[in-house]
């Protein structure tokens, strides 16, 4: 089969290659890959910011396609089913263990820049009927993570969510938070992106470039109460402000390191406000399945900024690596 390999930690080291055609063993499904999507993780790997990668790899964690062959002892799936193989295929649900974390598509096992993928059938989630392959391929990392953020913070009609930036996770979190009836504040470096967020239902917006003390602005906008959920994507530059933006008993959902991973932490507001500082690492198959069900029930359409053919993956990587050039997700489509 045809694949695109990443031969080393540089976007310039993406190259076409071929690998043996895979056949499914017991419990496995063979997927004809139709689409993928990029995450910051993929860029981190391709720019040498993610240690421990055994190059060459077939990169890209997220994908979607159709089942073309099933191994023995697989129930509930049929040839031709449209499916999403989950990023962490061995984590079915519940708490993660080191063994469940070992297999990660596009990191430690083959990813989506290929004609086919061999995956455990138990890691598959059905594509919601209203989504195409590229839209479905945006779900595994970003939608699962956003879903967990919204559910962990138990958002409801009386809650406020503060979402940092307008990348893939934040925009899914906006859609899920609105589906839960919450009020949503979105921050961005760009007024044009904030307008797009408003069109998707954001109630309040803050440009974090023109208002660097956005934590003060969050408190002003919430009558001094703060946000029940802060989606902490920024790391070093944002974590202290995220903590100061949270409500009493609020959740700071720590997922990102867009500006670095070593913030200086003031523990006093964490104690005084009795905050929950909740770390997260994507989520299990069960959460992807729930996120997909919510997307189907609410008719949510994933927001794709641009779509590139697999063969132009390097261009897509560069768009994400440049930072700030996109809104929502960047998708990839197979030939
Ligand atoms: N741990 C997990 O479970 C998990 C899962 C998924 C993702 N992540 C991480 O979460 C982060 C976001 O992921 P993503 O896929 O949504 O990324 P993305 O699509 O690349 O979006 C990044 C966006 O964040 C905003 N941003 C960049 N620097 C910022 C800063 N200093 N302060 C505030 N906003 C900033 C920008 O939005 P504007 O252009 O609007 O300013 C940018 O477009 C990444 O670090 C990723 O690795 C973690």
- Most informative mutation of 38, 138, 209, 256 for ligand 1 (most atoms within 8 A of CB): 256
Count of CB atoms situated within 10 Å of the CB of 181: 11
Q: Residue 78: exposed, middle, or buried by beta-carbon count in 10 A (0-12, 13-18, 19+)?
A: exposed
Domain positions in the chain: 2-138+302-333, 143-279
Instruction: Report pLDDT for 294.
Output: 98
- The pTM assigned to this predicted structure is 0.98
Report residue 236: phi and psi, to 5°.
-50, -50
**Nearest-CA residue for atom 26 of ligand 1:** 165
pLDDT at position 325 over 90 = no
Tell me the CA–centroid distance for residue 267 and ligand 1, in Å.
24
Tell me the CA–centroid distance for residue 203 and ligand 1, in Å.
20
Tell me the CA–centroid distance for residue 81 and ligand 1, in Å.
32
**Rounded distance between C-alpha atoms, residue 328 and residue 331, angstroms:** 10
* Ligand 1 nearest atom to the CA of residue 148, by list position: 3
What digits encode the pLDDT tens for the residues 228-266? 999 999 999 999 999 999 999 999 999 998 998 999 999
Q: Which DSSP string corresponds to 266-304?
A: -HHHHHHTT-EEEE-----HHHHHHHHHHHHHHT----E
| Average pLDDT score over the chain | 97
CATH topology of domain 143-279: Rossmann fold (3.40.50)
Instruction: Return the CATH number of 2-138+302-333, one of 3.40.30.10, 3.40.50.300, 3.90.180.10, 3.40.50.2300.
Output: 3.90.180.10
Tell me the CA–centroid distance for residue 325 and ligand 1, in Å.
12
What digits encode the pLDDT tens for the residues 117-162? 999 999 999 999 999 999 999 999 999 999 999 999 999 999 999 9
């Amino acid at each position: 089969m045809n694949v695109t390999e990443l031969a080393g930690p540089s976007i310039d080291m993406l190259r076409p290659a071929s690998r043996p055609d895979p056949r499914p063993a017991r419990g496995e499904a063979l997927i004809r890959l139709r689409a993928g999507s990029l995450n910051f993780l993929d860029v981190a790997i391709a720019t040498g910011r993610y240690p421990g990668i055994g190059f060459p790899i077939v990169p890209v964690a997220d994908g979607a396609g159709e089942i073309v062959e099933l191994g023995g002892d697989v129930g509930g799936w049929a040839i031709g089913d449209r499916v999403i193989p989950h990023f962490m295929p061995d984590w079915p649900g519940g708490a993660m263990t080191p063994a469940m974390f070992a297999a990660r598509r596009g990191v430690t096992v083959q990813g989506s820049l290929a004609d086919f993928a061999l995956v455990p059938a138990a890691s598959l989630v059905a594509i919601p009927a209203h989504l195409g392959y590229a839209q479905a391929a945006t779900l595994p990392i970003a939608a699962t993570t956003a879903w967990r953020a919204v559910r962990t913070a138990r958002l409801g009609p009386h809650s406020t969510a503060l979402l940092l930036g307008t990348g893939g996770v934040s925009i899914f979190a906006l859609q899920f938070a609105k589906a839960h009836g919450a009020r949503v504040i979105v921050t961005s470096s760009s007024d044009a992106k904030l307008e797009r967020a408003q069109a998707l239902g954001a109630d309040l917006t803050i440009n974090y470039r023109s208002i660097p003390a956005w934590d003060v602005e969050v408190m002003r906008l919430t009558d001094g109460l703060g946000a029940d959920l802060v989606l902490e994507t920024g790391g070093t530059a944002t974590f202290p402000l995220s903590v100061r933006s949270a409500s009493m008993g609020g959740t700071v959902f720590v997922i990102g390191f867009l500006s670095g991973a070593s913030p200086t932490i003031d523990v006093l507001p964490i104690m005084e406000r009795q905050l929950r500082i909740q770390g997260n690492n994507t989520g299990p198959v069960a959460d992807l399945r729930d996120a997909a069900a919510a997307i189907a029930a609410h008719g949510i359409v994933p927001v794709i900024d641009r779509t590139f053919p697999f063969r132009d993956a390097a261009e897509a990587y560069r768009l994400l690596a440049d930072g700030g050039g996109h809104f929502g997700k960047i998708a990839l489509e197979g030939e």
